[in-house]
Amino acid sequence: MSSDLSAIIESLLFTADSALSTDRICELLYEFDKNAVTAALAELAEYHSGRGGGFDLIEVAGGWQFRSRPTFHSYITRHIRAKASKFSQSSLETLAIIAYRQPVTRTDVEHLRGVDCGTVLKSLLEKKLVRIMGKKDIPGRPLIYGTSKEFLETFGLKDLKSLPTLKEIQALDEAPQYERQEELPLEQNMRKPLEGDLPFA
């Protein structure tokens, strides 16, 4: 990393509360050409990836953000245990339905889960993981929900296309395939064990 522009971008990203998009960085650094900003971002990402430090610069939630390396997760949680997010099973199920089926109504979610989801939806809205996208153009005009930028940041996703596919999820449940070992042939002249040979005769 050599240019002043790279250092300026690095300082912006370091002090940002959330991921900064390339467009937002260009807005902030209007005196620089967009191509130069894009090139500097690529240079920064390559630099942090190659130096083998404790964090990388990655694309997440449609923007750029410094993220600690997963290898060091167990050490980091010792320091920030209190900040670790805990999700109930019902929250995860509801969030998964919204993430994969969005935009959805509360009725859609409750139909798939088979239980009332009002309290869970309210909790997800308060955590800013879910957002109201508008109203569905049907009688009653119910609210429709989708995931937020905070959802992508929380789960370290570049965009919704980064969500694992159903095939990838199902593969996690499959038992590992072990190679079958061929049976060893018994020696032709092996004698039958006599009664006195047996340990409990």
Q: Which domains does the chain have, with CATH numbers?
A: 4-75 (1.10.10.10), 89-154 (1.10.10.10)
> Residue 81 burial (CB < 10 Å; 0-12/13-18/19+)?
exposed
DSSP 160: G
The one-digit pLDDT tens for each residue of the chain (201 residues) are 457 899 999 999 988 888 899 999 999 999 999 999 999 999 999 998 888 888 889 888 888 988 888 888 888 777 665 444 577 888 889 999 999 999 999 999 999 888 888 889 999 998 889 999 999 888 889 999 999 988 888 888 888 888 888 777 777 666 455 444 455 555 555 455 555 555 544
Q: How far is the C-alpha of 168 from the C-alpha of 105, rounded, in Å?
A: 26
Angle between the N-to-C axes of helices 118-126 and 106-113, in degrees from 0 to 180, rounded to the nearest 10: 120
Q: How many residues does the chain have?
A: 201
Instruction: Report how far apart, in Å, the C-alpha atoms of 72 and of each of 25, 44, 54, 77, 153 are.
Output: 29, 21, 8, 9, 18
Instruction: State pTM to two decimals.
Output: 0.52
d(CA 91, CA 125) in angstroms, rounded, equals: 11
